[in-house]
Amino acid sequence: MFDSDTLYKILLVSFCGGVISLDRTAVGQFMFSQPVVAGPLTGWILGDVTAGLVIGTILELIWLLDIPIGTFVPADSTVAVICATAAAVLGGRGRPELSLLGFSILLTIVLAPLTMAADNVIRKWNTRLADFVFSGPGRDVPTRLSRAHLAGIIVFFVKSFVLYLVCIPIGAAAVRWFAGVPETYHNAMTLYTKLLPFLGAASVVRKLSIKTLDGFLIIGFLTAAVLGLAFHAHYVVIVLSAVCAGILGVYYRERRS
Amino acid sequence: MIQASWSFGRMQTLGFAYALRPVLEKIYPERDEFLSRLTLHMEYFNTQPYLASFILGAAARLEQDRSCGLDVSTDVSELKTVLMSPLGALGDSFFWGALKPLASLAAVAVLMAGAWWAPFLFLLLYNIWHLRIRAGALFLGFKTTGDAGALMTRYQMAKRSRLFKSISLCLVGGILGMAPVWRPEFRLSQRLPGLLTLLTGLVVTLSMTALLRRGGSPLKLMLGLAAVCLVLAYLGVAA
């Protein structure tokens, strides 16, 4: 089904994905694993940064505030973005159309519960690492502690690597199948891709504010709209103005209260 | 690496003991004492991973004072127990709930307008703050022997959380307000006039926010949206 070049790319992305996924929990947490970084990085490895940028942006917005608190393990957005990007690029044979990007994002819906289940299994299994530390004589505790703790990195890597190795080929095959369906479905997925950023924005607003029509949201919207439409300002100016408007809004609110 | 062996049973316990091991090895040259202190630190531990450095610093200071024979009134286990929950809540709220959204939304805003360097902007904005606090908290914990008040005063995390969340909301508004200048992959329609694109985006977003507030999840909405798009495509609207 896949030629040797595609198989090599699947292996390469699975390995790199495993390393990137370590940043999510086990090592560093410098946020290389966030969709907005991991997506373009995967796209770059496979030769299509744009696909990674589009998928990464959308999934970043949708999963931005799904955060790990206590024992809650959220859906793994890193696995989702890397699988979706790889599936779109490999299934789309190089330069995927927008509809294929939308379809591969749709496939990540299946991945969310799967990644949560995999994470839960691994984190339950990791309890054995602690048991291992206490299993022998007391004088060996430091050595066993180091071994058990570092073994955790390998466990997290293997979990992600296996997930990539299984999910990317399935996703790529699904995208290849989708590439051959009638035009109507492609039109639907193109529209879907263009509407997803709004769902992402809604997801962020819902988590950041208790109001649907938050004052800061409106301030940012009006600032950007006026600068963009009336003055044709550069996007960097618009973003900086929105930030300044937010700071002024906070200052004003605190002065009033 | 404090979370390398994170488990439901022990959470960051092994990570904390692993991080403290070199310090204990240095200040307790006698093997038996080192082993007993290391074993003591293998009790249950879990907090926000970045702010764990503050507790690590404090624990290292207490152990150092103890090894020097100073009168240590604070019990290290008690200190860890007292600090880990509040610092966990504070860190989660600041790093995951405020700093990450701010850095992400700033990156997404410029990315949607066409900037290829947006991922670097995200990493820069996030890590400048995160590394500064992560490293600073370690030394502050050591210097103040775990005075959480000093941590709160220095980094003002509760106040900055509120500020960052408000700016993040402004950025979401800014992203929606920039809809006419989004890169073609994201732009709703090339034919719609700018004002109509803006209003359509705002209405769609607010409608989805309302649906999410009524108990919808992003996954359900993703599925529902796909179904709506299929219907629109059949009707010829999405062509």
What is the predicted pLDDT for the residue at A95?
72
Residue B45's DSSP bridge partners are B11
Question: What is residue B7's three-state secondary structure?
Answer: strand
What is the predicted pLDDT for the residue at B239?
56
What is the predicted pLDDT for the residue at A104?
94
What the block records as the tokens of A195 is 């509407």
What the block records as the tokens of B192 is 């719609």
- The pLDDT mean for chain A works out to 89
Measured distance CA(A236)–CA(A232) in Å, rounded? 12
- Give B-chain residues touching A220 at CB under 8 angstroms: 169-177
Positions in chain B short of pLDDT 50? none
Cβ of A57 within 8 Å of Cβ of B208? The answer is no
What the block records as the tokens of A235 is 């996007």
What is the predicted pLDDT for the residue at B195?
83
Higher pLDDT among residues B107 and A73, named by residue = B107
> Whole-prediction pTM value?
0.92
Mean of pLDDT values over A78-82: 94
Cα-Cα end-to-end distance for chain A: 65
Confidence of residue A210 (pLDDT cuts 50, 70, 90): confident
Cα–Cα separations (whole angstroms), residue A62 to A229, B55, B217: 27, 33, 10
What is the predicted pLDDT for the residue at B227?
94
Tell me what percent of the residues of chain A surpass a pLDDT of 70.
99
Measured distance CA(B53)–CA(B51) in Å, rounded? 5
Q: How many C-beta atoms surround the C-beta of residue B183 within 10 A?
A: 16
Q: How many C-beta atoms surround the C-beta of residue A25 within 10 A?
A: 24
- Give A-chain residues touching B220 at CB under 8 angstroms: none
Residue B166 phi, psi dihedral angles, 5° rounding: -65, -45
What is the predicted pLDDT for the residue at A154?
93
In this model, does residue A26 exceed pLDDT 90? no
Question: What is residue B45's three-state secondary structure?
Answer: strand
Out of B14, B169, B186, name the one closest to residue A197 (CB). Answer: B186
Question: What's the helix, strand, coil split of chain A in %, to 5?
Answer: 80, 0, 20
Confidence of residue A207 (pLDDT cuts 50, 70, 90): confident
**How many angstroms separate the CA of residue B200 from the nearest CA in chain A?**
10
- Secondary structure element (H or E) that encloses residue B116, with its range: none
In this model, does residue A168 exceed pLDDT 90? yes
Is the CB of residue B51 less than 8 Å from the CB of residue B91?
yes
- The four Cα atoms B119, B125, B127, B129 give a dihedral, to 10 degrees, of -170
Nearest to A111, CA basis, from A194, A49, A170: A170
What is the predicted pLDDT for the residue at B31?
87
Is the CB of residue A168 less than 8 Å from the CB of residue A86?
yes
Contacts of B160 (CB under 8 A, 6+ apart): B94, B98
- Secondary structure element (H or E) that encloses residue B96, with its range: none
Please give the distance of CA A178 from its chain centroid, rounded to a whole number: 22
**How many angstroms separate the CA of residue A3 from the nearest CA in chain B?**
29
Measured distance CA(A175)–CA(A129) in Å, rounded? 39
What is the predicted pLDDT for the residue at A135?
78
Measured distance CA(B134)–CA(A51) in Å, rounded? 34
In this model, does residue A138 exceed pLDDT 90? no
Cβ of A195 within 8 Å of Cβ of B209? The answer is no
Nearest to A159, CA basis, from A45, A25, A52: A25
Cα-Cα end-to-end distance for chain B: 50
Nearest to A172, CA basis, from A60, A83, A71: A83
Q: DSSP character for A228? A: I
Mean of pLDDT values over A16-26: 92
- Secondary structure element (H or E) that encloses residue B180, with its range: none
Out of A57, A71, A213, name the one closest to residue B8 (CB). Answer: A71
Cβ of A129 within 8 Å of Cβ of B7? The answer is yes
